[in-house]
Amino acid sequence: MSNPNLVSTEWLAERLGDPNVIAVDGSWHLPDVGRDGRTEFRERHVPGAVFFDINAIADTSTGLPHMLPSPELFASEVGKLGIGDGMTIVAYDASGLFAAPRVWWTFRAMGVKDVFILDGGLPKWLAESRPTESGAGERAPKTFTARLIAGAAKSADDIASALETGAAQVVDARPAARFRGEAPEPRPGLASGHMPGALNLPASELVKDGRLVDDETARRAFEAAGVDASKPVVTTCGSGVTAAIVALALESAGARAEGLYDGSWAEWGAGGRPVATGPAKA
């Protein structure tokens, strides 16, 4: 696999004692799953790892879930975790590949270049009988500098403009039944369907056994969804988490996402925006 954003379990295991490499557990689960990422982290995590709570390190003033925080808040909270400037960050999650890409995307949006995702996540780490530890994972605070990349997080108006002008392809990572409006949204009060003109590539088609699919499979998935990887792409989903999986996979297809719609369907589907049902229309 040629995706430059992944590191292997072997790579991380060899660097567990390196003070400039830090593992970041970004585990998050949908409310109906009945799992809590922080609780599971305290029970078992990669040695030296810290827990990144996407709901807490967020802009909580909007009423929308895990929105990108201000650079000042992000820098403060990340510094408290013991992550400092110049460190290499390796994000992982307990599902293999679900929420870790959101953590990766967040650090990238804040100007961090040396951030990667652990290929296979915690499941692969455990399957290989690699060491773990328990506890809160506290480390000494460090100084972290955040520089928000302009345009990394797209607004609803940005998406509306892209759809109207064709300036970018909007790729929705939600399951096909939700995109078509045939299945209800897991969050109450949201319309069923999709943004008129959006394309649908369920994130589940890009993940197999907790790992990103191979490069060729990723390319075929984008082509089948009608996505031209040579043209600008903005990703979206239910709340901005699995949209990051699509952004990650784009780099396996030889492209790169131009941005991620942070509010995603949690914002768009709440009312005031046009909604379409049925399959995507070319």
Residue 234 forms part of a structural domain: yes
Encode burial over 110-125: b for 16+ CB neighbours within 10 A, e otherwise. bebeebbbbbbbbbbb
Other Cβ atoms closer than 10 A to 254: 13
Q: What is the mean pLDDT of residues 93-113?
A: 98
Residues 180-203 as b or e (16 or more Cβ within 10 Å = b): bbeeebeeeebbbbbbbbbbbbbb
By annotation, the residues acting in catalysis are: 237
The pLDDT tens digits for 170-208 are: 999 999 999 999 999 999 999 999 999 999 999 999 999
- Residues 157-168, mean pLDDT to the nearest whole number: 97
Share of the chain above pLDDT 90, in %: 94
pLDDT surpassing 70 at residue 282 = no
**Per-residue pLDDT at 55:** 96
Q: Which residues pair with 280 in a beta bridge?
A: none
Is 68 a member of any domain? Answer: yes
Task: Report if residue 280 sits inside a domain.
Answer: no
Instruction: Considering only residues 32 and 221, tell me which one the structure prediction assigns the higher pLDDT.
Output: 221
Per-residue pLDDT tens digits for 46-69: 999 999 999 999 999 999 999 999
Structural domain tally of the chain?
A: 2
Q: Which pairs with CB-CB distance under 8 Å and at least 24 residues apart come from 38-42?
A: 40/94, 41/137, 42/134, 42/135, 42/136, 42/137
Q: Which domain holds residue 253?
A: 153-268
- Whether residues 113 and 162 share a domain: the answer is no
Work out the mean pLDDT of the chain and round it to a whole number.
Answer: 96
User: Which tens digits make up the pLDDT trace of 116-152?
Assistant: 999 999 999 999 999 999 999 999 999 999 999 999 9
Mean pLDDT of 65-94: 98
Which pLDDT score is estimated for 254?
A: 83
Domain check: are 208 and 117 in the same one?
A: no
Shared domain for 165 and 259, answered yes or no, is yes
Q: What pLDDT is stored for residue 1 in this prediction? A: 54
Residue 81 lies in a domain: yes
Return the H-helix or E-strand segment holding 25: strand 21-25
**25: in domain:** yes
Together in a domain, 14 and 115: yes
Rounded to whole angstroms, what are the CA distances from 165 to 158, 159, 277?
11, 10, 21
Q: To the nearest whole percent, how much of the chain has pLDDT over 70?
A: 99
Q: Are 171 and 83 contained in the same domain?
A: no
What would the pLDDT profile of 210-223 be if each residue is shown by its tens digit?
Answer: 999 999 999 999 99
The verdict on 173 and 238 lying in the same domain is yes
Residue 273 lies in a domain: no
- Mean per-residue pLDDT, 17-21: 96
Residue 135 lies in a domain: no
Same domain? 230 vs 120: no
- How many angstroms separate the CA atoms of 232 and 40, rounded? 38
Comparing C-alpha atoms, which of 67, 62, 57 is closest to residue 91?
A: 57
- pLDDT at residue 252 above 90? no
Q: Is residue 141 part of a domain?
A: no
pLDDT of 34: 86
pLDDT band at 262; cut points 50, 70, 90: very high
Sign of CA dihedral 28, 260, 160, 194: negative
Same domain for 119 and 192?
no
Instruction: Kindly report the CATH number assigned to the domain that includes residue 104.
Output: 3.40.250.10
* Per-residue pLDDT at 79 exceeds 70: yes
Q: Is 111 left (phi over 0), alpha (psi -120 to 50) or beta?
A: left
One domain, residues 57 and 96: yes
**One domain for residues 36 and 112:** yes
Do 45 and 82 fall within a single domain? yes
Does residue 19 carry a pLDDT above 80?
A: yes
230/173 same-domain check? yes
Residues 270 and 188: their CA atoms lie apart, in Å, by: 9
Give the mean model confidence (pLDDT) for residues 227-252.
Answer: 96
